Structure 1
Amino acid sequence: METAPSAPSASGARERISESKRAARKRDASSRDALRNDRGSGTDELTALPAALFDSLTQLTELFLSYNQLTTLPEAVFDHLVNLQTLYLHQNQLKILPAGVFDRLVKLKELYLDHNQLQAIPPALIDSLTELMRLDLEDNQLKSLPPGIFDRLGKLIYLHLHENQLTTVPAGVFDRLRNLQRLGLNDNQLKSVPRVAFDKQSEYYQQRSQLCRPTSQLLLLAARAGKQELSTELAHGINNDTV
């Protein structure tokens, strides 16, 4: 009399699942290695984007375009991405951005433009990004900031401007950033910062700025009431109009 095959044991099922996971991890590792090799040879790096590339992706919430060789963007390339919340453009070779390239990204919360070659920002570039909470612009070649550039970013929490070539910041450029918690200005060429630049913010982080004399760490805390606590190192040797 034949006996029915016994049901697989729980331990056997776990072993099969583990083997499957190990095989999947091995395939993933092979794919990552192949991708690294391709990137190393430059065979899969984008140098330009067709203007209508994303027109059908109206529900897209995250877009990764990092680690390519893009030098600029078509002005209307993101116009249909009305639900986009995160845009990664870091580690490219962006030198110029069209003034209206982000105009339709009204739900964007995070924008990564760091590690490019931007020398200037069009004055109205980010005016439409009223939901933005994080803006990364570090490691570019910015020499100045347009007055009012951040005026519409009332929800911004993180602003990273370090590792650029800024020599000063316009008075009042941060006045509308009522929710800002962290501002990176380290590793620029700052020679003067107007006192009023920080009057209306709650917390700013600055480190290793070249401000009149070498300073290894600068931490500026501005109370919500607008009062400032300045370190003696930061204030030393600087006149009443600048810090």
Structure 2
Amino acid sequence: MPRTLQRDAANEKHMTGSLCSHLNNSGVGTRGRTMKAGAGLFSALALFLLMGAVYTQRTRPRKPTRRPGTTTRKPSVPKPAVPAQPEPQEPTDFPPPILGPPSIYPDCPRECFCSPSYPNSLNCENRNIRVIPVIPSRTHYLYLQNNYISEVTAEPFLNATEVRWVNLANNRIHRIDKQVFQKIPALLYLYVHRNQLKEVPSGLPASLEQLRLSRNRISKIPSGAFSKMGNLTLLDLYHNQLSDSDFGKNTFRDLKSLMQLNLAHNILKKMPDGVPSGLIQLFLDRNRIDDIPKDYFKGFTHLAFVRLNYNQLSDKGVPKNVFNVSTLLDLQLAHNQLASVPLFNGHLEHLHLNHNSIESINGTLLCPYSLQADMSDLSLVPRLRYLRLDGNHLSPPIPLDVIICLSEPAESRTVHLDSCSVKVHTHELRKYYSTIRSDVVAGDSDIGVKLLDRSLIRDVQEGQTCCFMRLVLRFYVERVFNNYASTEPQQQRCSSALANAFVSIRRDIHKCHCQCGEETQRKIDSLHAEFIKLQISQAAQKAMGELDTVLEWLEGLEKEN
């Protein structure tokens, strides 16, 4: 019973009880003997009715009158409303900022760390900062990732005109003032991934070389957003909400130096228009693309990596020779609806066709050149060395011509890692690296610092070779190749090919189930520690220059076995 009705009932009971008590005490009732029966009964009844009428008028709700021709309906009990799902609200109780250690620099913000060893760096990451502090004028490298910043205004950058690198990743940024970039015209690297931007920032400086905007909520690219950005080599828009209408023929018109374009995990239904012809890497995974124009890749001069996994491609939407591109090294078409193997050029090294609807394969398709070709002419030797066909409708046995096609070439070497063996194409690694070695070594400005000292590799404990190699490969794949960028297409292509080869070796080593000892883990931890002491671009450059040490080690393992 509702609380109000309970109270009213209790009051009524109390009043009725008091009345009956008064009547009994005064000797009035059906058994009263001193008063006349009629008069006593009449007085009691009158008093009872009078008080009941007054009480009813005061406390009881009025009953609705019934209209003619209507039926009586029970009052409906209102159902609790289901609240609409609102957009996630920002928390109001942020943790307090974490103050940095005392600094020798009087202009160092209290929330940051200013290293005496790197006076041009301002380290403000992981400090629970909500507002960007005033940036000292000596700052070249600004680290503000992993905080609670919601907007970026121009005021903190008034004197920071020499900033080259800004990392704002993993904040809550929903707005960046256009005036910010007017204050930092020499900016080269801008990382704003994992934020809440709804459109590409306007007014980006022409000096920019890398722009990372992945994992935002971007659904709009303002007109001219990338205009005059002729130095941009990497554009990452992965995991946003971009559709076909956001990309016109002129969207990428000024990006003459663009080498890496990542538009994966958006809502594209067709291939983007106007992509620069000098592109090396094009990632379009996890979209809704079902058709590729016949001559889409025809004008690309350096294209080496194409990823179209998790789309809606079928044989109908893939023209016969669309992937017959001589520069293509890695083609990924997994998780589509293909029923046959598409044609490709003989220079292709990695082909991912897993989880399609393919029912048959033959060596002629996988090895476009004749299997009877002169094997001394390496230009005619099929290079395909990694093929994924799992998740299709293939029935055994595998055709003999496919086995011949995928057999290891004579130049591959078996590297024995403790109790496991893997195939390593060291001649290919050496060929790619020799192309870029002189440039990466010349670009290393910290000659006195070593990351991969030869003694670090030479003194690997017995039984730990497999583990050490796996961890070194992981270091290069995840830290070095991801952060190394060159403005020269040939260098970028070779570094990408090296990264691809390292990924393959690492994938094979995973099958070995290496056991890592404490000393080996300590060595790798020290390698990572030295890496993060440097500015990330310098560290990647240095590690690329020291790749020669890793290749010598691999070649030494071949000779030992």
User: TM-score, normalised to structure 2's length?
Assistant: 0.32
Aligned to 2:352: 206
Alignment partners' CA distance in 2, 1:204 and 1:235: 22
After superposition, give the CA deviation of every residue in 1:17-37 in whole Å (9 maximum; x if it has no partner).
9x976xx99952235153646
One-letter amino acid of the structure 2 residue matched with residue 107 of structure 1: S
- Secondary structure of 1:159 counterpart: strand
After superposition, give the CA deviation of every residue in 1:25-82 in whole Å (9 maximum; x if it has no partner).
9952235153646379xxx5222346xx236x11111112222222242343212101
| Residue 167 (str. 1) matches residue 317 (str. 2) | no
Q: 1:146 to 1:72 in 2, by over 3 A?
A: farther
- Secondary structure of 1:29 counterpart: coil
Report if the CA contact (8 A) 1:130-1:152 is conserved. yes
Aligned to 2:148: 34
Alignment partners' CA distance in 2, 1:84 and 1:234: 47
Alignment partners' CA distance in 2, 1:100 and 1:201: 32
Aligned to 2:294: 147
Q: How is 1:13-162 mapped onto 2 (pairs within 5 angstroms)?
A: 27-31=124-128, 32-34=146-148, 36=170, 38=172, 45-49=196-200, 53-54=202-203, 57-96=205-244, 97-122=247-272, 124-126=273-275, 129-162=276-309
- Secondary structure of 1:211 counterpart: coil
Q: 1:145 to 1:76 in 2, by over 3 A?
A: same
Aligned to 1:13: none
One-letter amino acid of the structure 1 residue matched with residue 271 of structure 2: I
| RMSD, matched Cα | 3.8
Alignment partners' CA distance in 2, 1:118 and 1:90: 12
- Secondary structure of 1:87 counterpart: strand
Aligned to 1:225: 380
Alignment partners' CA distance in 2, 1:33 and 1:63: 20
Q: 1:201 to 1:235 in 2, by over 3 A?
A: farther
Instruction: Structure 2 unaligned segments of length 5 or more: list them.
Output: 1-102, 105-112, 116-120, 129-145, 150-169, 175-194, 370-378, 398-561
Q: 1:37 to 1:100 in 2, by over 3 A?
A: closer
Q: 1:199 to 1:220 in 2, by over 3 A?
A: same
| Residue 184 (str. 1) matches residue 332 (str. 2) | yes
Q: Which has the higher contact order (CA 8 A, sep 6+)?
A: 1
Instruction: Structure 1 unaligned segments of length 5 or more: list them.
Output: 1-15, 237-243
Report if the CA contact (8 A) 2:214-2:240 is conserved. yes
Alignment partners' CA distance in 2, 1:156 and 1:106: 14
User: Residue 140 of structure 1: CA displacement?
Assistant: 0.8
Higher normalized helix content (fraction of residues): 2
Report if the CA contact (8 A) 1:120-1:145 is conserved. yes
